[in-house]
Structure 1
Amino acid sequence: MTTGVRFNYLALMAGSRVISSRYQLNKPLGQGGMGVVWEGYDQVLRRPVAVKQLLLPERSEPGQDRELKARFLREARSVASLDHPSVVSVHDVVEDADGPWMVMQFVKGRSLQQLIEEDGPLPVARVAEIGLALLDALECAHAQGIVHRDLKPANVMVADDGKVVLTDFGIAAVANATYSLTRTGQLIGSLGYIAPERFSFGTIDGRSDLWSLGATLYYAVEAKRAFRADDGPDIHIARLLMGEQPEFERAERLEPVIKGLLEKDLDRRLGIDQARRQLKTIANGKTVPPFPPPPHAPTKTFPKFPPRRAVVIPLVLLVIIALITAAVINYTGQRKGHDQTGQRESPVPSAVVKFETIPDICGSLSGKMILDNLIDHRRPSDSKTDTDERKCGWETESSATVPVDGRLTLTARKFPSADQAAAYIEKENGKKSIFGGSGYTGLGEPGEIGDQAIFRVWEEIVDKTRGGDVYHSSNTTEIIFRTSNLVVEVDYGRHRGGEPKPDDTARARQGAELMAREAASSLGS
Structure 2
Amino acid sequence: MAGRYRLRSKLGGGGMGAVWLAHDTLLDREVAIKQVTFPADLTPEVARETRARAMREGRLAARLTHPHAIAMYDFTLEREDPWLVMEYMPSRSLAQALNVTETLPPTQVAQIGAQVADALTEAHAAGIVHRDVKPGNILIADRGLAAGTVKISDFGIARAKGDAQPGQNSVITGTPAYFAPEVARGGDPTEASDVFSLGATLYTATEGQPPFGIDEDTIALLHRVAKAQIMRPARSGEITDALLHMLEPDPARRPTMAQARDLLARSAVGADGNIAYVLDAPLRDSDGAVPFWARRGATGGPSRPARRLPTSTASGLPAVDQSEPLQSVHRPSPRTPRPPAFEPKNSGPGLPVPLIVALAVVSVLIVVLIVAIVV
Compute the TM-score of the two structures, normalised by the length of structure 2: 0.65
Unpaired runs of 5+ residues, structure 2, are 161-166, 273-319, 327-375
**2:240 equivalent to 1:255:** yes
CA distance in 2, matches of 1:101, 1:185: 26
Aligned partner of 1:328 in structure 2 is 323
8 Å CA contact 1:210, 1:271 repeated in 2: yes
8 Å CA contact 2:72, 2:86 repeated in 1: yes
CA distance in 2, matches of 1:195, 1:71: 23
Aligned partner of 1:38 in structure 2 is 20
8 Å CA contact 1:149, 1:170 repeated in 2: no
Give the secondary-structure state (helix, strand or coil) at the position aligned to 1:117. coil
Aligned partner of 1:187 in structure 2 is 172
Give the secondary-structure state (helix, strand or coil) at the position aligned to 1:100. strand
**2:34 equivalent to 1:90:** no
Distance 1:92 1:255, change over 3 A: same
Equivalent residues in 2 for 1:18-167, closer than 5 Å: 19-97=1-79, 99-160=81-142, 161-167=147-153
> What is the Cα deviation at residue 120 of structure 1?
3.1
Give the secondary-structure state (helix, strand or coil) at the position aligned to 1:95. strand
CA distance in 2, matches of 1:243, 1:128: 23
**2:246 equivalent to 1:264:** no
1:245-267 CA distance string (max 9 Å, x none): 22423211121111110011223
Give the secondary-structure state (helix, strand or coil) at the position aligned to 2:44. coil
Aligned partner of 2:204 in structure 1 is 219
> What is the Cα deviation at residue 197 of structure 1?
1.6
Give the secondary-structure state (helix, strand or coil) at the position aligned to 1:192. helix
> What is the Cα deviation at residue 192 of structure 1?
1.4
8 Å CA contact 1:109, 1:157 repeated in 2: yes
Aligned partner of 1:432 in structure 2 is none
Identify the structure with bigger relative contact order (alpha carbons < 8 Å, sequence gap 6+). 2
8 Å CA contact 2:169, 2:188 repeated in 1: no
Give the secondary-structure state (helix, strand or coil) at the position aligned to 2:129. coil
**2:191 equivalent to 1:206:** yes
> What is the Cα deviation at residue 222 of structure 1?
1.9
Distance 1:99 1:196, change over 3 A: closer
> What is the Cα deviation at residue 170 of structure 1?
4.5
> What is the Cα deviation at residue 156 of structure 1?
1.1
CA distance in 2, matches of 1:129, 1:55: 33
> What is the Cα deviation at residue 234 of structure 1?
4.0
Equivalent residues in 2 for 1:320-469, closer than 5 Å: 328=323, 330=325
8 Å CA contact 2:203, 2:243 repeated in 1: yes
CA distance in 2, matches of 1:243, 1:76: 32
CA distance in 2, matches of 1:165, 1:285: 23
CA distance in 2, matches of 1:119, 1:37: 25
1:393-447 CA distance string (max 9 Å, x none): xxxxxxxxxxxxxxxxxxxxxxxxxxxxxxxxxxxxxxxxxxxxxxxxxxxxxxx
CA distance in 2, matches of 1:236, 1:55: 24
8 Å CA contact 1:152, 1:213 repeated in 2: yes
Quick check: 37-46 or 255-264, which moved more?
A: 37-46
Q: Which has the higher strand share?
A: 1
The Cα RMSD (Å) is: 2.7
Aligned partner of 1:235 in structure 2 is 220
Q: Which segments of structure 1 move beyond 6 Å, counting only runs of 4 or more?
A: none
Distance 1:255 1:204, change over 3 A: same
For this pair of structures, how many residues does the alignment match? 269
Aligned partner of 2:262 in structure 1 is 277
Distance 1:267 1:29, change over 3 A: same
> What is the Cα deviation at residue 231 of structure 1?
5.8
CA distance in 1, matches of 2:244, 2:182: 16
CA distance in 2, matches of 1:263, 1:167: 25
8 Å CA contact 1:150, 1:170 repeated in 2: no
1:130-184 CA distance string (max 9 Å, x none): 111111111111111111111111111111211111112142779xxxxxxx985
> What is the Cα deviation at residue 271 of structure 1?
2.4
CA distance in 2, matches of 1:229, 1:39: 31
8 Å CA contact 1:150, 1:189 repeated in 2: yes
CA distance in 2, matches of 1:72, 1:51: 15
> What is the Cα deviation at residue 206 of structure 1?
0.5
Q: Which amino acid aligns with 1:271?
A: T
> What is the Cα deviation at residue 113 of structure 1?
0.6
8 Å CA contact 2:141, 2:149 repeated in 1: yes
CA distance in 1, matches of 2:29, 2:9: 15
Unpaired runs of 5+ residues, structure 1, are 1-18, 175-181, 288-323, 332-525
Distance 1:286 1:79, change over 3 A: same
CA distance in 1, matches of 2:43, 2:186: 27
CA distance in 2, matches of 1:203, 1:137: 21
CA distance in 2, matches of 1:207, 1:52: 26
Distance 1:170 1:20, change over 3 A: closer
1:171 corresponds, among 157, 164, 179, to 157
Q: Which amino acid aligns with 1:226?
A: P
